[in-house]
Every structure is written in C-alpha cells, then in structure tokens.
A and B are shown apart, each in its own frame.
Chain A
Amino acid sequence: MINLSLGANIVLNQGVINIKINSGLPVDASAFRLFANDKVKDDLDMIFYGQPKNQDASIIWQQTHNNNHEFRVDLTKLSAEVQKIAFTITCDQYSPISQLKNLSIQLDCNNEVIALGEVDINNRQEKALIMGEIYRRNTEWKFRFIAQGFNGGLKPLAEHFGVNVIDEPTPPVPTSTVNNTTTSSSVNLNKISLSKDRTSVSLSKRNDYGKIGINLNWNKQEQPTKKGFLSEFFNRSPNIDLDLAAFVRLKDQSIHVIQALGNCFGSFQSPCYVELMGDDRTGANQDGEWIYINGSHWNNIDEVLIYTFIYEGLPNWSQADGVVRIHVPDQPVIETFLTDGNNSNILCAIARLKNDNGAINVERINRYFRSQRELDYAYGWGFRWSAGRK
C-alpha cells in the first residue's frame, strides 16, 4: 500500500477500483464524471445518495456506514470522452472540515488496499473538498490525492464542475431534481436534515405523491469471511438486526402495525397502503430496509409513525449508527440520524408523517422506548400487544 502525500499521483493498472471515503463523522460524498474542460455534461454525471448509479454503471455509490462512502468505479466502462472522475465530500452537520474526526480517501482493488490519502484536517476551513481524482494521462488512468476545496461548501464545488445549483432554500418547491428524464442541467442538491434544531418539514399539497420510500440503513458489521463452526458458541455475533416498522392510522380511524415481527408486512395497493419490503435480518443487504407508502392514496391516510427497534444484537445505538431517509418523488431527501439513543431502550420512534389538510407534514421524533407498548401509550394509538417472534 502506498501512503499518498497531498498532490501525489499513482498509475492505476486495475480495471475496477473501489474508492472509499472515511470521515469519522457524517459527511456527504459525491463523484463527478468530467469531460472536456473538467465539466460535467448533464445530471447523469453526478453520483451521490440521490443518484447512486449512472446509466452505464461505470460508477456506483454506496454508503457502507454513516461515515463511510464507497464508489465502485469500472474504468473499462467509461466512455472515451470521460477525462476525469472527481471524488468530493461536503460537510453539513459537522462543518467545516476541521470539525470532523478524521478524513481519508482509500483505493481498494480486489479487497486489497492500493493507496491511502489522509487529510490533515487541522484548521481547514473548507466545507467542501475535492478529495481526489481519477484522470487520464496519455494512455493510462491515474489517481491524484488533492484535498483542496471551497469554504462556501457544496455550491461553489458543484459550480466548479459546471453544475448549476438551484439556490432554493428549504422547504423546497417541486423543481427539477436529479432525474433521468429531465433535460435541465440544473441539479437540486438540497437535502433536508431533520435535527434537534429543525424538527419538521411540510411538503406542499399535491393530488398524488407517488411512491414514498422510507429507508433505514445502519452500520453493517463486516462479516468474517471464514468462520469455524464452533465460533458461534464462543463469540456472540456482533451483528445488529434493526427492524423498520410503522404505525398507520387511516382516515377511517382504523390502526395498523407494519413490522416483520408477527409478519405484518401490510399492503401497498390496498388498505392500509403501507408495505414493508422483506426483512433484512443480516444487515448484509447494503440497501437496508424499506417501507413504501402509496402516496396516490395519501388522502386515505391520517398518520404514519415510523419507528425502528433492535431485534437482535446489542442495544448499542451509536454502534448501529442508523440513518433514516424519506424519499418523496421530486422532493429532496429528508433524513434523520438515530443519535442520542439510550442503550437500555431498544426502540426508537423516528418520525411521523401526518396528513395536514392533504399536505404531508414530516416531524422528527427521535424518542427512545423500551417496547412497542410504551411507544403506543406515549402517542396514544391504542393497540393491544402480545409477545411475538418472527
């Protein structure tokens, strides 16, 4: 492995490279596919949480942990016009860069570390950083460790790559977002973070909200690749199984529980119009767990309360590092982090979506409870509970 100093470059002999960005605290990571003059051509050239994969699958983003992003780059799939791919981070919650615990970019190939660039974050005032870039040099691909950026954050960074940023403050109006069918070259880079300071957001009233996706993702513990059959006896599995679940109240005042426990998966097409997709028991599914709300029937729904609970594994919220993202079509992603968890409580009420005269009001809750029953009482839903096992 090569330790890269700032500005240093290396030749890439491999076709597929995994670029890992680790930050110690949450940051957003994006890759920009650049053409002549180091500019993007259109929206498809940005790979990030809102567009994890581009059309030729040459770059694929995934968040392996709140603080870890990974881009899988297949150099053999890149078109001949592509000159560079820049890998960037922006700080939102912890800003500027000097507030992070650490920051590095690592290149892996076939699970082997090729190179590592560690940023000295002391006194760094930037809110957005170009971590490094893969670029053409004569007939080769090379990588350079850059760590230069912009004090103004995402906007100057995006503009540097030729992306027009909509200067719309949140809450947003439905405008062009990253969408394969849009012809506009403007990208709405807004993401709404619900935190202690900002606990709710209202989405403007619409007839049809489409398919509303709620995603829970958490720290995927690395599974040892080889394991003796006795190891299960000696080592308690470090894996945490988080279940995503919801209480749903329809306009007719009927109440429903959506959770894997008890096989209450619900239904997207018929009442209660909320469905839990599968159940990720292992955490191996990088995509986490999903609940979909049928936004075409929002007028039949009164409230959806989203919660998660630790089904298996140690109740350690900081280790689980959960993040919930609410995707409403044509709207910025709304996200909230499961922080401040008390480890004696296994359940976290995350957020509720309330029907506010046809609009959706999303309210962050982030309260921890010992059981579904306790949560039920706290918010006055009125279920009857018995112990269960999936």
Chain B
Amino acid sequence: MAVSLVKGGNVSLTKEAPTMTVAMVGLGWDARVTDGQAFDLDASLFMVSENDKVLSDSHFIFFNNKTSPCGSVEHQGDNLTGEGDGDDEQLKINLTQVPADVKKLVFSVTIYDAEKRKQNFGMVSNSFIRIFNNDTGVEIARFDLSEDASTETAMIFGELYRHGSEWKFKAVGQGFAGGLAAVAANYGVSI
C-alpha cells in the first residue's frame, strides 16, 4: 500500500524502500471516450543542482529529450492519448548512477496544449502519477490528479533529493500556471 501523501510530506527511502536502486515514476490516465480533443499528459524530470536550476538544458528530460547525458534517467516513451492500462508513461531513474552534482530530481506532470484544448486534470478520468521501487514494484507515493489536482493543468509532483548519503522523496503537489514551458523556465531551462 502506497503512502498517501499530503503536500510536502517526506518519505525516507532508506526506510520505505531500503534496497531501491532503480526508481520508476509512472503516469497514467484513461483515454478520452467523449468527443473532443484527446488528453495528452506528459511526465518530465528536471535534474537540478544546489541552486534549484538544471545543470544544463539537456538535464531536462521530457518527450523530446528522453535520456540524460549521464544515462541515469530514461524516459520510456511518450503516450499521446492514455490508451492502455496501468502506467502510460514512465521515467526510469537509476539512483546509483545519478551524478554527484545533481542534488535533486524534480518530477512534473503537465497536460499538453491544455490552454488551447481547455483541459485540466479533473476532466481526465483516473489520472495519477506515482513513484515506485522498480526492483520490487512497491509503490512509494501517489497523487490522484483527477481528484486532488482537478482544476490544475500542470503540477510539480515531487522531488527525489539527497539527504546525506540517502535519497528521500518529498511530495510537492503544487499546481503551476502556464504549462510545461513555465515549469521548465522555473528550473532554468532556456525555452
């Protein structure tokens, strides 16, 4: 059973998932059954340094840049409609290979073209984002976007950050106006 997180709640991975070497972030939603434009949700990741900015633009992992320069983070592919069961998009993070100057991995979820398509998470059925231990499949944290971020179009899901020698996960759950471009700009990506 996953820990149901409130905003800002911390999970120590050494306690929750002591053996975890590979973390997986899964994003899922149901394909649209009503008429209108498809719901296209995107999971992205920012590898940031001490000052909360990306090390470089190529440390912004998203649908057009699927692998980090170091190879520790891999975007498993962009799903445009939500077709299929379970996770529709996944980001795989090999924690042992994350370079030392990366202090934080920040995960975001955004709706592609939300403004133009007049969409928000609440209009998407069963949308969620979760992080789990890829070695065991055990879920660490989860946000039900349809329920708890219903009027948002972009959200910072949470961050994996270094705390001494261990990794911790912090749920952020903070909405963001302006879509992926605004989120990226916030973490110092040149758009």
Q: Which residues of A contact B (CB under 8 A)?
A: 5-9, 125-126, 130, 137, 142, 144, 146, 148-152, 160
Cα–Cα distance between A137 and B122 once the two chains are bound (Å): 14
Q: Chain A: which residue is nearest B36 at the CB level? A: A148
B36 touches A5 (CB 8 A): no
Q: Chain A: which residue is nearest B122 at the CB level? A: A7
In the assembled complex, which residues on chain B have CB atoms less than 8 Å from the CB atom of A130?
34
Chain B nearest CB, measured from A80 CB (Å)? 21
22 of the cross-chain contacts (CB-CB < 8 Å) are: A5-B120, A6-B122, A6-B123, A7-B120, A7-B121, A7-B123, A7-B146, A7-B150, A7-B151, A8-B122, A8-B151, A125-B35, A126-B35, A130-B34, A144-B122, A144-B150, A148-B36, A148-B123, A149-B34, A150-B35, A152-B35, A160-B34
Give 18 A-B pairs besides A8-B151, A126-B34 with Cβ atoms closer than 8 angstroms: A5-B122, A7-B121, A7-B122, A7-B123, A7-B146, A7-B151, A8-B150, A9-B147, A9-B150, A126-B35, A142-B147, A144-B122, A146-B123, A148-B32, A148-B34, A148-B35, A148-B36, A160-B33
In the assembled complex, which residues on chain A have CB atoms less than 8 Å from the CB atom of B34?
126, 130, 148-150, 160
Number of residue pairs spanning A and B whose beta carbons lie under 8 angstroms apart: 44
Cα–Cα distance between A15 and B84 once the two chains are bound (Å): 37
In the assembled complex, which residues on chain A have CB atoms less than 8 Å from the CB atom of B146?
7
In the assembled complex, which residues on chain B have CB atoms less than 8 Å from the CB atom of A6?
118, 120, 122-123
B151 touches A151 (CB 8 A): no
Q: Report if A5-B151 is in contact (Cβ < 8 Å); known contacts: A144-B122, A146-B123, A148-B123.
A: yes
Chain A nearest CB, measured from B32 CB (Å)? 8
Q: Chain B: which residue is nearest A124 at the CB level? A: B36
In the assembled complex, which residues on chain A have CB atoms less than 8 Å from the CB atom of B124?
7
Cα–Cα distance between A50 and B125 once the two chains are bound (Å): 30
Cα–Cα distance between A150 and B121 once the two chains are bound (Å): 20
Contact-residue bracket for chain B: 10 to 19
Q: Chain B: which residue is nearest A149 at the CB level? A: B34
- Of the candidates A9, A125, A130, A152, the one having the most CB atoms from chain B within 10 angstroms of its own CB is A9
Q: Chain A: which residue is nearest B123 at the CB level? A: A7
Chain B nearest CB, measured from A156 CB (Å)? 8
In the assembled complex, which residues on chain B have CB atoms less than 8 Å from the CB atom of A149?
34-35
B 92-135 binary contact with A (CB < 8 Å = 1; else 0): 00000000000000000000000000111111100000000000
Chain A nearest CB, measured from B144 CB (Å)? 9
Q: Chain B: which residue is nearest A130 at the CB level? A: B34
B 141-165 binary contact with A (CB < 8 Å = 1; else 0): 0000011001100000000000000
B14-48 contacts to A (CB < 8 Å): 32-36
In the assembled complex, which residues on chain B have CB atoms less than 8 Å from the CB atom of A5?
120, 122, 151
A137 touches B35 (CB 8 A): no
In the assembled complex, which residues on chain A have CB atoms less than 8 Å from the CB atom of B35?
125-126, 148-152
Chain A nearest CB, measured from B84 CB (Å)? 17
In the assembled complex, which residues on chain B have CB atoms less than 8 Å from the CB atom of A150?
34-35
Cβ-defined partner of A9 (8 Å) among B33, B36, B118, B122: B122
A137 touches B147 (CB 8 A): yes
Chain B nearest CB, measured from A104 CB (Å)? 17
Q: Chain B: which residue is nearest A152 at the CB level? A: B35
B27-80 contacts to A (CB < 8 Å): 32-36
Chain B nearest CB, measured from A37 CB (Å)? 12
Cα–Cα distance between A294 and B36 once the two chains are bound (Å): 49
In the assembled complex, which residues on chain A have CB atoms less than 8 Å from the CB atom of B118?
6
In the assembled complex, which residues on chain A have CB atoms less than 8 Å from the CB atom of B150?
7-9, 144
In the assembled complex, which residues on chain A have CB atoms less than 8 Å from the CB atom of B122?
5-9, 144
Please provide the 7 A-B residue pairs with the shortest distance between their CB atoms, ordered closest to farther: A7-B122, A148-B34, A7-B123, A151-B35, A7-B120, A7-B150, A5-B151
Cα–Cα distance between A16 and B73 once the two chains are bound (Å): 51
Cα–Cα distance between A125 and B147 once the two chains are bound (Å): 27
Chain B nearest CB, measured from A168 CB (Å)? 24
- Of the candidates A6, A125, A142, A150, the one having the most CB atoms from chain B within 10 angstroms of its own CB is A6
In the assembled complex, which residues on chain A have CB atoms less than 8 Å from the CB atom of B123?
6-7, 146, 148
Chain B nearest CB, measured from A258 CB (Å)? 47
Cα–Cα distance between A130 and B119 once the two chains are bound (Å): 16
Cα–Cα distance between A130 and B121 once the two chains are bound (Å): 17
Q: Chain A: which residue is nearest B32 at the CB level? A: A148
Chain B nearest CB, measured from A8 CB (Å)? 5
Chain A nearest CB, measured from B9 CB (Å)? 18
Cα–Cα distance between A148 and B32 once the two chains are bound (Å): 10
Cα–Cα distance between A144 and B146 once the two chains are bound (Å): 10
Chain B nearest CB, measured from A377 CB (Å)? 52
Chain B nearest CB, measured from A162 CB (Å)? 12
In the assembled complex, which residues on chain B have CB atoms less than 8 Å from the CB atom of A126?
34-35
Q: Chain B: which residue is nearest A156 at the CB level? A: B35
Q: Chain A: which residue is nearest B34 at the CB level? A: A148
Cα–Cα distance between A130 and B146 once the two chains are bound (Å): 16
Cα–Cα distance between A6 and B118 once the two chains are bound (Å): 9
